[in-house]
């Protein structure tokens, strides 16, 4: 079962309401996405911690409803 980019964005925004999010459907199949997420909550966190935070926000859907989600995460640049 595929997910839409809007569904992914909604899940992330539930946890990070002020995040700036860009999502691209890599294959046009609704199953392989790349997401760029910029949020203050990532300040002081390692890249691994940032990605874990996003996977937690996805409520276990990555690997199930969503096959692949490539992440590019960062805190805003001052």
The residues pairing with 23 across neighbouring beta strands, listed in sequence order, are: 35
Q: What is the pLDDT of residues 18-29, one digit of tens each?
A: 999 999 999 988
- Beta-carbon contacts of 27 under 8 Å, excluding residues fewer than 6 positions away, are none
9 neighbors 21 (Cβ within 8 angstroms): yes
| pTM (two decimals) | 0.90
Residue 66's pLDDT is 87
Which residue matches tokens 């992914």? 8
Distances in whole angstroms, Cα of residue 43 to Cα of each of 40, 55, 74: 6, 17, 8
Domain coordinates of the chain in residue numbers?
5-74
How far, rounded to the nearest angstrom, does the alpha carbon of residue 9 sit from its chain's CA centroid? Answer: 7
Looking at domain 5-74, its CATH architecture is: 2-Layer Sandwich (3.30)
* pLDDT above 80 (res 32): yes
Compute the average pLDDT of residues 39-45. Answer: 97
Asked whether the beta carbons of 57 and 15 are under 8 A apart, the reply is yes
């Amino acid at each position: 079962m595929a997910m839409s980019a809007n569904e992914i964005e909604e899940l992330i925004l539930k946890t990070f309401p002020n995040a700036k999010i860009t999502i691209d459907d890599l294959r046009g199949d609704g199953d392989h996405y790349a997401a760029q997420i910029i949020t203050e909550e990532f300040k002081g966190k390692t890249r691994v911690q940032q990605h874990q935070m996003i996977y937690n926000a996805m409520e276990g859907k990555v690997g199930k409803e969503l096959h692949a989600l490539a992440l590019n995460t960062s805190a805003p640049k001052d």
